[in-house]
Structure 1
Amino acid sequence: MSTNFTYFADMSRKGIFSGHIQAMVYDRSKPFNSLPLLPPTGIEEDVDILKKLVSSSRALASVDGKVQRLPNPSMLVNTISLQEAKASSEIENIFTTEDELYKAVSDTIQEGQASPSTKEVLRYRESLWEGYRRIQEKGTIDLDGIVAIFSKIKNTSGGIRPPHSLTVIRRGQSEFRAGEIIYTPPRGPGIVEHLMANLLDYLSDKVDPNTDPLLKMCISHYQFEAIHPFPDGNGRSGRILNLLYLVNKGLLNHPILYLSKYIIVHKDDYYHHLAGVTQAGKWKPWILYILDAVEQTAKLTNQLITNILEQMESTLEHGRETIKWYTKEINELLFSQPYLKPKLVGDRLKIASRTTLNKYFSELQAAGMLAQIKDGREVFYINRDLVKILEG
């Protein structure tokens, strides 16, 4: 213990763990053990950042207000989180089709038969809910919670990568100079743990308590990705951490922000600005990028919610006019996920009779509210209106 303390004290005296913005000579093939502690300085005074912070905060608040008007926010959060899970996994080059994903979440048996890529996407959503549950229970973000998110994403019992692990980030096989090292995260006895402790102090306001939470999210997202605390799954863990932090600080009541879609569209900029902070201390472009991601994503999410709400109202009106047993509860169930199986409806409505269920679904089909598809012996019912909105 004394050895580590002396080591970190020496690093601090040399300015290696200072929070100052500075250009650094950085060898990408060597561990970035000179990663500065948080907070950086001289950011909040920037006029461009302050202006963007105001517009992003307003957009985010509008999303949260709209979600609160929903009769069952968890239903919609569950649907949108599936899209976020898919998009976040695509950033890491993990691809699955909407069709396969929707089939997998419609039934736990089908999920067990899903492809490895689809299972990874589903684990992302499970990790999001695990983190959300922990925040509701503890009221804070801690290391155990972050490790739990990673463990669920990667389906492992592992945690912080050990100091001897030669973890490096390389260019993808489809990129120019494939295999080239583009970043080597910090490593060594106690280094990652020290950096994570500082990050958690920053998130909990033990450090720099007066900085706007949305600005802190931008800064802490870079720091988490630069620390790269896990052997794998850091990108997805970091994007979940963004949402959970916004929830923890009361900027969102539910983890409903489709941020990964923006990053996919502007993926090159994302990695370019990450590298800019690492190599030259260029915080401003990175912060403006993330704030714009929040603002544009909030607007898209707002429109998505509006479209779903309008479609739900239209479907409810049509259902009541054409099916005598159709209710608001059934209408919400039809919009709980894009693909449905009779068993789900039966369990929710406590209908044990298969004959009755078949009759219900036949009437829903006849009314044009669901469409049937078969995959081998499996039968699914698709809410095509919801699918069209989600994939639009």
Structure 2
Amino acid sequence: MKVPHQPLNPYTLNTLLERASRGLAELDAFTLIVPDVDLFIQMHITKEANNSSRIEGTQTQMDEAVLKAEQLSPEKRDDWGEVRNYVQAINEAITELDRLPLSNRLLKHTHAILMQGVRGENKTPGEFRISQNWIGGSGLSDAAFIPPHHSEVPELMSDLELFWHNDNINVPELIRIALSHYQFETIHPFLDGNGRIGRLLITLYLVNKGLLRKPSLYLSHFFERNRGSYYDALTRVRQSNDISHWVRFFLNAVIETSGKGKETFQRILALRQEMDSLTISYGKRAENVQILMKNLYRRPAVTANEAADLLGVSHQAASALLKKMVSDGILKEITGYQRNRVFMFFRYLELFSD
């Protein structure tokens, strides 16, 4: 992998690297102590899919991202489809890492899922580009940046894959993935979807290298909130070889995001303890509430029909239970309809809202 020639200043980066590594380790520790952590990881994934897609221009909000397509107005379904594709792409990529190392083959497969049936579906999903692309502007003549010629992409991506797994290169893993993200975005190997795949690459790398046991760190919210600084940091490497500035930005993103992730897990634990105590008051229906709550931790929206199917009870019994949960302040009905009502576990959703 070819990286900018300006050396990293170890004296400047050591403190940031130490803080980022410690924050990441503490975040990872939470995934070991939180019961049923995989339930909550799904909401982390949904938030990442929503934030990463918003950087690319989608307008879906978190309360919409957890709904089903038929529960949204038709004009919102295209953006929603991109977010749900990203959720599926993340989940399948993480599952693949259980049996395969991080690779270009995995990135291509993930890209194919990301682009299926949405904008960009005709731009060779799952394949590296075989034509020139550009970043910014309306075309090559006024582009802000022109990535390498498509004939160079296979070799550059092969070189990047070797960099991920070359144990003879003594580079800390967080520095290595910072460099890899920059390199991926500079190569821009796909015709579309490079931003989303490049940001997902960060989490896949950390899981593959064992720095995270669960996919709990996602930087898209930080990148979106600091979008101008994010693009500026990447541009400074390309224009003036200032790799140190980019790495500092990246490590600060890890530090802040790890801290916010720990806070979210702490709030999840507190909320779950409160909900578990409240569940006891439901007497004979407590077991059904527990089953329903587990489902809501994974996706915090439910209808009476879904609750009835999940619990194996009548629609009337499910509706009565949901009504009780609304009166107890657990759920809110969000449609205002008499039929096809949707109940949201709003206090949980708020933990993942910006």
Q: Quick one: which amino acid aligns to residue 158 of structure 1?
A: P
Question: What residue is the counterpart of 1:300 in the other structure?
Answer: 260
What is the distance in 1 between the residues matched to 2:67 and 2:72? Answer: 8
What is the one-letter code of the residue matched to 1:21? H
> Aligned in 2, Cα 1:307/1:18: closer, same or farther, shift over 3 Å?
closer
Deviation digits for residues 211-248 of structure 1 (CA, Å, limit 9, x no counterpart): 21111110100000001000010000011111011001
Contact 2:308–2:317 under 8 Å retained in 1: no
Deviation by residue 1:91-135 (Cα, 9 ceiling, x = unmatched):
11211133322222xxx7548965111111111111111110110
Deviations 1:122-150 (A, max 9, x none): 11111111110110121x01111101111
Q: What is the rounded CA distance, in whole Å, between the counterparts of 1:335 and 1:188 in structure 2?
A: 44
In the alignment, the residues of structure 1 paired with residue 4 and residue 256 of structure 2 have an alpha-carbon distance, to the nearest angstrom, of: 30
Number of the residue aligned with 2:155: 194
- Contact 1:82–1:125 (CA under 8 A) maintained in structure 2: yes
Aligned to 1:276: 236
Superposition map of 1:211-360 within 5 A:
211-327=171-287, 328-349=290-311, 351-360=312-321
Residues 219 and 257, structure 2, Cα contact 8 Å, conserved in 1: yes
Which one of 355, 361, 370 corresponds to residue 331 of structure 2?
A: 370
| 3-state SS of 2:144 partner | strand
Which of these residues, 144, 147, 169, is aligned with residue 135 of structure 2? 169
Which residue identity does 2:136 align to in structure 1? R
Q: Highest CA radius of gyration, 1 or 2?
A: 1
Question: Could you say what secondary structure the match of 1:325 adopts?
Answer: helix
Q: What's the counterpart of residue 87 of structure 2?
A: 125
Q: How does 1:34-113 map to 2 (within 5 A)?
A: 42-43=7-8, 46-104=10-68, 110=71
Indicate the larger mover: 270-279 or 112-121: 112-121
Identity of aligned residues (%): 25
TM-score by length of 1: 0.81
Instruction: Determine whether 1:203 maps to 2:167.
Output: no
Give 1:303 deviation, angstroms: 0.7
Q: Equivalents in 2 of 1:82, 1:19: separation in Å?
A: 33
How many Å separate the matches in 2 of 1:18 and 1:203? Answer: 13
The alignment covers a number of residue pairs equal to 342
How many Å separate the matches in 2 of 1:216 and 1:386?
A: 35
CA contact (8 A) 2:64 2:72 kept: no
Q: Tell me, in whole angstroms, the C-alpha distance in 1 between the residues paired with 2:342 and 2:283.
A: 21
The 1-side partners of 2:93 and 2:38 are apart by: 15
Counterparts of 2:51 and 2:2, CA distance in 1: 35
Unaligned runs of 5+ in 1: 1-16, 23-41, 173-178
Q: 2:27 touches 2:258 (CA, 8 Å); kept in 1?
A: yes
CA deviations on 1:273-319 (whole Å, 9 max, x unpaired) are 10111112111010010011011000011111111211111121122
Contact 2:108 2:128 survives alignment (8 Å): no
Q: Distance in 2 between matches of 1:228 and 1:111?
A: 33
After TM superposition, give the deviation of residue 196 of structure 1 in Å: 0.3
1:207 and 1:112, CA in 2 relative to 1: closer, same or farther beyond 3 A?
farther
Q: Determine if contact 2:51/2:221 at 8 Å carries over to the other structure.
A: yes
| Contact residue 77 and residue 256 of structure 1 kept, 8 A | yes
**Structure 2 contact 4–243 (Cα < 8 Å) conserved:** no
Q: Once structures 1 and 2 are overlaid, which stretch shifts more, 376-385 or 69-78? A: 376-385
Q: Check the 8 A contact 1:316/1:331 in 2, yes or no.
A: no
- Structure 2: where are the runs of 5+ without partners? none
Is residue 4–residue 237 contact of structure 2 (8 Å, CA) maintained in 1? no
For residues 115 and 153 of structure 1, the distance between their equivalents in structure 2, rounded to whole angstroms, comes to 15
Equivalent residues of 1:312, 1:335 under 8 A apart: no
Distance 2:2 2:326 in 1: 64
Q: Is the 8 A contact 1:87 1:261 kept in 2?
A: yes
Give me the whole-angstrom Cα distance separating, in 2, the residues matched to 1:277 and 1:151: 29
SS of aligned partner of 1:170: coil
Which residue does 2:126 correspond to in 1?
Answer: 159
Counterpart AA for 2:98:
Q
